[in-house]
Each structure stands twice: as structure tokens, then as C-alpha cells.
Amino acid sequence: MCPSKVADGAQRGWIVPIGGAEDKESDMRVLRRFFELCGGKGAEIAVIPTASRLNETGGRYEQIFGGMGARNVNVLDFDTRRDAHERNRIARIEQSSGIFITGGNQLRLSTILGGTPVAQAIRACNAHGIPVGGTSAGAGILSEHMIAGGESESATPHANGVRLAPGLGLTNRVVIDQHFRQRDRLGRLLAALACNPFAIGLGVDEDTAAFIGPDNTLEVEGSGAVTVVDADGLQFSSMAQVGGDAPVCMLGVQLHVLTAGATFNLETRRAAAGTLSTVKE
């Protein structure tokens, strides 16, 4: 699945995967930066809490963005695929200046929204310059290949260590895993890349986000780190030779750990210290 085509002279909107458990009470660095990208005080933000089974999830983000000064926050919950065909709800997405997808179960997102007019509207909005962010499950679905489940709490990739499903396809350059350090998901992300070495793995810690700009450069914000796993130089993978719980041999994988201010260019595959670098006077 390729991202929606960007019109000549236009720029794609920011894509903001958040690792979950972002600060919602004190300085709210991650959410506040997303809010500013959406237009700040004049923002019209659509919140999609479909992944969550908790009734209060959408209202929590409505309160947060409203408290920051958003002009309007529309909570649009889709419980069935029929809901995702309702024209009035789709219109609210199309009229928004930012779209935010909450956490929960990412398979609820893919099975309810996948291939619907709502998914098409989100893709089209992002192609027309609208920022789209998501936290936890909402982060995982932003890319073409979504991690739908699999083995966690292991640094070693295993043959059956990951399950993949189609995501929204806002970008086909990355595959995203969330709660990364907190749930020790390096092995799961490596297994996903063993299946698809083209993609770049982003392991996003809690209270941390990768702000991916229109130029495909990501910058890290938040209190944790984004682990970038680049399999472009993969020399060998045993994924096709093993099965079950067997560990997978992977040679030539490159890894970067980026904290707030550091950057990674998804086109050149180059990491940089960004604002962390110091200049001698």
C-alpha cells in the first residue's frame, strides 16, 4: 500500500507515533507539540478512540486539547464498520486540522476502520498536509505494516515472534512498536524486520514520540527514546529456514538510540544528534 499521493506543490502532513502512556498532566511535551502542529489555539482536532473499550478515553483527550485552547475537539468513536461509512462523521474528519488516534487494541482499529471511507479520509487528509498522530495502538496503525501482536519481553527475534496486519499506510517506510523499552519489545521488532527488511523499525518508548516531518526526517520528543532498527544492510536472515519458537539469526542490522532532539532521515537512513550536539564557542 503506497501513501496517498501528495498534490504538486503541496506537503504531506506530519505523522506522529507516540509510544503510549504520554504525560497528560504536567508539561505534556508530546501532546503540546502535536497540538501546535494542528494549529494551536485555532485547532480543530478529530479524536478517534475506536481502539479503546473505555468510554472515557475520547473525553480525556477532548479535555486535554480543549484545555490547551483548541477551537473544537470532535470525538468520533466508530464501534462498527457501518459507523465508518457515515458521511457526517467523515466530514468532521475532512474538516479537521489534526487527527489523533488513541490507544487500546490495534486490531479493533484495523478490523473496524480498515478499507472504509474513514480510513480513506485519514489518508487523504494527511496527504493534504493534516497532521495525524496516534498513541500506543494508534501509533502502530499509522504505517503500512502494523504489528498486531506476538512475543514480547525478549531481545531475541523468534520465527513466530510477531504477527503483522495492514495499517493505514500513511507511510510505508517504517514499522512501529510501542511501549518499547517498558515491555522489552526489541525481539518482536527485529522479527518484523526479518519478514520485511525494506522497512525501518521504530521502537517508541512511553511518553515519547517520533515526529515525522513532510521531508521524512523524524525528530524525537519526550522523556524516553526511539530505538531505530535499520535492516537495509541485512546480510543474512534465517527467518525462512526456521519455525516455531526457534531464534532467528540476523546479520548486519544497524541500531540507533535517539533521545529528545536527535533526528533520523528515513530517506538517507542517517541519524544525527540534532539539537543534542554542542558547538564550541
Quick: pLDDT tens for 29-67.
Answer: 999 999 999 999 999 999 999 999 999 999 999 999 999
206 catalytically annotated: yes
Q: DSSP states of the chain as a string? A: -PPPPPPTT--PPPEEEE-S----SS--HHHHHHHHHTTGGG-EEEEE-TT---THHHHHHHHHHHHHT-SEEEE----STTGGG-HHHHHHHHT-SEEEE--S-HHHHHHHHTTSHHHHHHHHHHHTT--EEEETHHHHTTBSEEEEE---S-SS-BTTS-EEEE---SBSSEEEE-STTTTT-HHHHHHHHHH-TTSEEEEE-TTEEEEE-TTSEEEEEESSEEEEEE-TT--EE-TTT--TT-B--EES-EEEEEETT-EEETTTTEEE-GGG-----
Q: Give the whole-number percent of the chain exceeding pLDDT 70.
A: 99
pLDDT at 152 over 80: no
Confidence band, pLDDT 50/70/90 cuts, at residue 280:
low
Per-residue confidence (pLDDT) for residue 279, from 0 to 100: 55
Per-residue confidence (pLDDT) for residue 1, from 0 to 100: 67
Confidence band, pLDDT 50/70/90 cuts, at residue 281:
low
Per-residue confidence (pLDDT) for residue 88, from 0 to 100: 97
Helix axes 56-68, 29-37, angle to 10 degrees: 70
Of the candidates 179, 219, 221, 237, the residue annotated as catalytic is 179
| Burial class of residue 226, CB neighbours in 10 A (0-12, 13-18, 19+) | buried
Per-residue confidence (pLDDT) for residue 54, from 0 to 100: 95
Per-residue confidence (pLDDT) for residue 154, from 0 to 100: 87
Of the candidates 52, 96, 110, 136, the residue annotated as catalytic is 136
136 catalytically annotated: yes
Write the pLDDT tens digit of every residue in 189-223. Answer: 999 999 999 999 999 999 999 999 999 999 999 99
Write the pLDDT tens digit of every residue in 107-147. Answer: 999 999 999 999 999 999 999 999 999 999 999 999 999 99
Per-residue confidence (pLDDT) for residue 4, from 0 to 100: 86
State the amino acid at position 162 in one-letter form: V
151 catalytically annotated: no
Average pLDDT, the chain: 96
Write the pLDDT tens digit of every residue in 214-244. Answer: 999 999 999 999 999 999 999 999 999 999 9
Of the candidates 151, 206, 219, 221, the residue annotated as catalytic is 206
